[in-house]
């Protein structure tokens, strides 16, 4: 170190986690070089009058080094493990800060003199290298374009700007923004020229920059001074509408069903807490009531009309693109597309995974129809509309792969896009509101018992509009599109004997058996089938399954699934169980008086210790459905002269 050198500085000794191992304050209890020089981890107290800017990303470090080298700035530059430390002078101490945007549009941390700050200079026994060094008296004052201006946000992301991304307009609006931060005209011109030359991904021609910086682009000094004076007068006073309007000017914000969403990374994310954090950062003394005033104002100003939202149910938001699932057309991200979910998967039509193929083949016992059904289910999970109106129950006991399949789907769709509401809970007052913006609901471990209330379930399974309510919130209309997946060791009983419920619920048996003693046992299988490539391959399978589903207009119905449904209908109905156990034939049903049939049934129930005996009307309805009988019975005269009613075959 030139100039004052290392001997006149103060130091502290660090542990392996970059923390001081001895007390110090303002350098008073810091140590001299002679005392610390043999320790492996050292930091230097930032001396007066210096500040140190820490650029800890590769791209930002490269930008600042290029600027320093090409402009030949008189400053110190030290190499760090992730970037560089840059030393400048500042007569007034700065506040220490982290991850803050500087005026030229890149980010840094800051450590300032007089702020009890230090920077690491020796790591694991190796002194960090000075890439650029000057004597203390030679170092220049920090230039204005390196002053902090705001926390990270979506505006003024100059590093990402190329031709066609609105560079001219952003730089033009940045002039007034910098003026509002107290920058003078010459300082702004220098800043914008540096941004164009060193920061923009694709710089503008100089004549366009000169046009942006024409005198008419600047507000008058008197106007700016008046604004700054007004801000000074209002300093500490919170005005909810002004603050809210400032946020709305920077971020794309909408309110839907009384919930605030911010457009981030290509889709709308619920993030009211971030807005409240910004309020607290700007006004540390802000009261709870004042925060609520901002939120209420923003909700009014950004509320979306439900009728104006036009969602294409076949467009899905992925990590690397928006994708039309029907055509596989890649679509650009857009704030005009009101999308609330991001599937954490890349679209790669060439992706393959032998591990996933082997796992599916093993879990579904080599049944191609079951694998096809699985592909269709995953494809259905990607839709934003409940077109096919089917729910699924995975059942089977023991280690059969059921949990792995559900966990795979949850990982593929994204945990934040999945609800975990059990079948029993779905009829609750507030719980159904949790299905808002969820692609899948996975309810694990259904208890064996009777499902008493199925009206709400049938509406959920079919995607019909429901009136729901969040706790302490206003009611709103929900059109659920989450694919409903449930698991159980055995199928629960249902009090609903109608075909309506059965048409919407598909039972999928899991008959495979897995053990650590299997020859093909692989403890790392889940990591393999959820790798980035494997998930991209699963997306390809889902697209294939969805296309088949759209073409056939229904899910594939494997034989084992059909058998499971028939078995359930018998086991779930005491009437059908009696028909099965008594070997009742259609001939016997037609030749036995209807009342006598019911007496035989009730006698069987008593012998079988069945307490809840099906009523006569329900008994008749189940026989009519089972054997295709007419609703209207006929009367026949018996040998003893009495008249009795009999079932007849329906002519429809």
Confidence (pLDDT) at 233: 44
* Enclosing H/E stretch for 97: strand 97-102
Per-residue CA distances from 56 to 46, 47, 131, 156 (Å): 18, 21, 15, 20
Q: Helix/strand/coil (H, E, C) string of 13-48?
A: EECCCCCECCCCCCCCCCECHHHHCCCCCEEEECCC
DSSP bridge partners of 531: none
Contacts of 204 by beta carbon, 8 Å cutoff, 6+ apart? 167, 168, 171, 196, 212
Contact 250, 155 (CB under 8 A): yes
Confidence (pLDDT) at 454: 58
Distance CA 176, CA 180 (A): 6
What are 182's two structure tokens? 């107290």
Quickly count: other Cβ atoms within 10 Å of residue 302's Cβ: 16
Confidence (pLDDT) at 153: 54
Quickly count: other Cβ atoms within 10 Å of residue 393's Cβ: 21
DSSP labels, 200-264: SSSPPPHHHHHHHTSGGGSPPHHHHHHHHHHHHHHTT---HHHHHHHHHHHS-EEEETTEEEEEE
The pLDDT tens digits for 161-174 are 888 778 888 898 88
What are 434's two structure tokens? 């949790």
- Beta-strand relationship, 493-494 and 450-451: parallel
Distance CA 41, CA 23 (A): 16
Contacts of 627 by beta carbon, 8 Å cutoff, 6+ apart? 586, 589, 647, 649
Distance CA 418, CA 432 (A): 13
DSSP bridge partners of 626: none
Quickly count: other Cβ atoms within 10 Å of residue 187's Cβ: 18
Q: What is the DSSP letter of 292?
A: H
Burial of 340 (0-12, 13-18, 19+ CB in 10 A): buried
- Beta-strand relationship, 391-395 and 505-509: parallel
Contact 427, 457 (CB under 8 A): yes
Confidence (pLDDT) at 3: 45
Name the phi and psi angles at 93, rounded to 5. Answer: -65, 145
Q: What is the mean pLDDT of each run of 10 residues along the chain (652 residues)?
A: 64 80 66 86 91 94 96 95 94 88 92 87 91 93 92 70 82 85 90 95 92 84 64 58 77 88 89 81 77 90 81 93 95 90 96 96 96 97 92 89 95 95 76 88 70 65 78 78 89 60 80 89 93 97 97 95 82 83 91 94 88 88 90 90 91 74
Contact 420, 443 (CB under 8 A): yes
3-class secondary structure, 83 = coil
Contact 272, 295 (CB under 8 A): yes
* Enclosing H/E stretch for 358: helix 354-363
Distance CA 482, CA 460 (A): 9
* Enclosing H/E stretch for 88: strand 84-89
Confidence (pLDDT) at 457: 74
Shortest CA distance to 62 belongs to which of 184, 179, 159? Answer: 159
Name the phi and psi angles at 644, rounded to 5. Answer: -130, 155
Per-residue CA distances from 229 to 139, 150, 182, 283, 428 (Å): 34, 20, 11, 18, 56
What are 553's two structure tokens? 């207009």
Confidence (pLDDT) at 498: 53
Contacts of 524 by beta carbon, 8 Å cutoff, 6+ apart? none
pTM exceeding 0.75: no
Which segments of 437-585 does DSSP mark as H helices, in order?
455-462, 499-504, 525-529, 532-552, 559-572, 574-581
The pLDDT tens digits for 594-622 are 999 999 999 998 998 887 788 999 899 98
- Beta-strand relationship, 634-637 and 130-132: unpaired
* Enclosing H/E stretch for 273: helix 272-282
């Amino acid at each position: 170190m030139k100039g004052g050198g290392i001997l006149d500085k103060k130091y502290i000794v660090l542990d392996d986690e970059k923390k001081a191992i001895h007390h110090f304050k303002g350098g008073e209890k810091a140590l001299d070089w002679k005392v610390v020089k043999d320790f492996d981890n050292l930091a230097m107290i930032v001396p007066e009058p210096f500040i140190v800017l820490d650029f800890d990303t590769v791209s930002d470090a490269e930008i600042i080094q290029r600027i320093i080298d090409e402009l030949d700035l008189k400053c110190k530059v030290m190499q760090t493990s992730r970037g560089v430390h840059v030393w400048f002078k500042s007569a007034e101490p700065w506040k220490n800060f982290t991850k803050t945007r500087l005026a030229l549009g890149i980010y840094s941390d800051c450590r300032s003199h007089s702020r009890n700050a230090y920077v690491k200079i020796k790591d694991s026994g190796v002194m960090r290298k000075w890439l650029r060094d000057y004597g203390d008296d030679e170092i220049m004052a920090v230039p204005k374009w390196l002053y902090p201006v705001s926390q990270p946000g979506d505006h003024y992301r100059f590093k990402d700007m190329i031709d066609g991304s609105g560079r001219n307009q952003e730089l033009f609006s940045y002039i007034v923004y910098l003026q509002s931060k107290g920058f003078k005209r010459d300082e702004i011109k220098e800043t914008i020229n540096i941004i164009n030359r060193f920061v923009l991904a694709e710089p503008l021609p100089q004549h366009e920059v000169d046009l942006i910086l024409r005198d008419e682009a600047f507000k008058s000094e008197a106007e700016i001074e008046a604004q700054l004076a007004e801000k000074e007068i209002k300093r500490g006073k919170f005005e909810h509408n002004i603050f809210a309007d400032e946020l709305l000017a920077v971020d794309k914000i909408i309110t839907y069903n009384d919930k605030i969403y911010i457009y981030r990374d290509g889709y709308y994310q619920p993030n009211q807490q971030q807005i409240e954090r910004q309020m607290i950062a700007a006004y540390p003394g802000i009261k709870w009531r004042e925060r609520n005033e901002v939120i209420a104002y923003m909700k009014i100003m950004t509320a979306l009309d439900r009728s104006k939202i036009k969602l294409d149910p076949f467009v899905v938001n992925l990590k690397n693109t928006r994708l039309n699932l029907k055509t596989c057309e890649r679509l650009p991200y857009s704030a005009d597309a009101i999308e609330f979910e991001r599937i954490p998967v890349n679209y790669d039509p060439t992706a393959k995974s032998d591990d996933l193929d082997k796992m599916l083949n093993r879990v579904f016992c080599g049944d191609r129809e079951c694998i096809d059904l699985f592909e269709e289910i995953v494809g259905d999970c990607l839709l934003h509309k409940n077109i096919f109106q089917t729910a699924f129950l995975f059942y089977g006991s023991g280690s059969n792969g059921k949990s792995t399949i559900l966990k795979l789907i949850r990982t593929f769709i994204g945990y934040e896009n999945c609800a975990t509401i059990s079948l029993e809970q779905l009829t609750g007052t507030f719980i159904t509101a949790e299905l808002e913006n969820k692609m899948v609901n996975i309810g694990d471990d259904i208890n064996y018992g009777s499902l008493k209330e199925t009206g709400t379930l049938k509406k959920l399974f079919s995607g019909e509009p429901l009136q729901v309510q969040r706790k302490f919130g206003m009611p709103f209309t929900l059109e659920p599109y989450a694919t409903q997946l449930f698991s159980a060791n055995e199928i629960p009983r249902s009090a609903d004997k109608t075909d309506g419920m059965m048409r919407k619920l598909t039972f999928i048996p899991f008959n495979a058996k897995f053990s650590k003693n299997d020859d093909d046992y692989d403890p790392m299988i889940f990591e393999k089938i959820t790798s980035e490539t494997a998930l991209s391959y699963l997306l390809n399978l889902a697209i294939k399954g969805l296309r088949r589903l759209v073409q056939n207009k229904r899910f594939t119905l494997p034989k084992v699934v059909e058998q499971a449904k028939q078995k359930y209908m018998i086991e779930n109905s005491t009437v059908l169980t009696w028909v099965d156990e008594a070997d009742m034939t259609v001939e016997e049903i037609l030749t036995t008086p209807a009342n006598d049939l019911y007496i035989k049934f009730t006698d069987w129930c008593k012998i079988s210790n069945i307490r809840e005996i099906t009523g006569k009307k329900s008994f008749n309805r189940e026989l009519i459905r089972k054997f295709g009988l007419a609703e209207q019975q006929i009367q026949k005269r018996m040998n003893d002269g009495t008249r009795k009613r009999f079932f007849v075959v329906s002519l429809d």
